Structure 1
Amino acid sequence: MGLLSRLLGRKSKKKKKTVGTVPTVDKTTSEMIKNWSKSIERVENHPLSQARVINTSLLNDLSSILANMNEKLDKLSKLDEVLSLLEDTREQLESAGLSTSSVDSAISNLKGLTVKDQEALDLFKEDGSFTTKAFAKKAGLSRSTASSRLNKLFSLGLLEKEAKGKKILYKLKQ
């Protein structure tokens, strides 16, 4: 403020400070477009914007994978229902005294049994029950391989375990 303004008590008008560049009315349209383009480019090149693009892409991929997994779980659920129906059918055929071989093979296929597993089940159908040692001898397997196969068939619900003293007998599940 000058001396005269102070004596008269008039205040001078101060210029307002502006933050950033804001297009004014007297700029041409092309200058405004250039400024906007630069602003957009700065935003696009900002690390957080790039991270958002990457995260969006990952989210889309993850959603696709989860949808695929959900579809497979639905199919597995339907297979479990079919397996349950086959097991019920097997029980009905068995109680009627009819052959269950075709149903047994369908059940084996659904449970993912190997040929060796099916052969092991056939041995149980012939002889009834085995200890691990007796099964290994009859099947021509090592004791550890026989134990592994018996435990697999037990975990699939095809065999039962029965403790007789120190020995464990395996037999077909009724």
Structure 2
Amino acid sequence: MQIRDADYADVPEITCIYNDAVQNTTAIWNDTYVESAERAAWLRQRKEAGFPVFVAFCSETGDITGYASYGPWRAFDGYRYTVENSVYVHPLWQRRGVGRLLMQALIKRARETAVHVMVAGIEAENTASIALHKEFGFEDAGLVKEAGVKFGRWLDLALLALRLNEWPEPPCGSTR
């Protein structure tokens, strides 16, 4: 299994993994499938904003086994050093270390690009994802009861956070 930056040739597989999560899981709180053109626009926006999108792939077959990214946590200036991550693994490759490799890549890139905190918003019953994040040092940051709805039921949102460095103060240029 290997990790690399995603490119536009990966969009069909990324779209399939995304749509499977829409259809079958509470990992994505959307009810609507996306087309490859929408995922290509998403990939372009991430790249233009300087945010990574990684794919995991089987080195023997070349099959895309998962993807991960991070992006803005909230749209206010004060959150510019905080990101929210997303990690999605193809159902046939789950529980085989793909998510772990993608998380390693995300955290490494975040540290290299001056991210201070990485946040994860996870459906509270997704114990596998919560456990994976905790393996990397994420800590519980709160629980929002009935924050969303999918499959005809309320969903609780578990928030987890990982501080990536020990900055005593924000970087230069953060005067306000």
Larger radius of gyration: 1
Higher helix share: 1
Higher strand share: 2
Q: Answer yes or no: same fold by TM over 0.5.
A: no
Output the TM-score relative to the length of structure 2.
Answer: 0.22
Output the TM-score relative to the length of structure 1.
Answer: 0.22
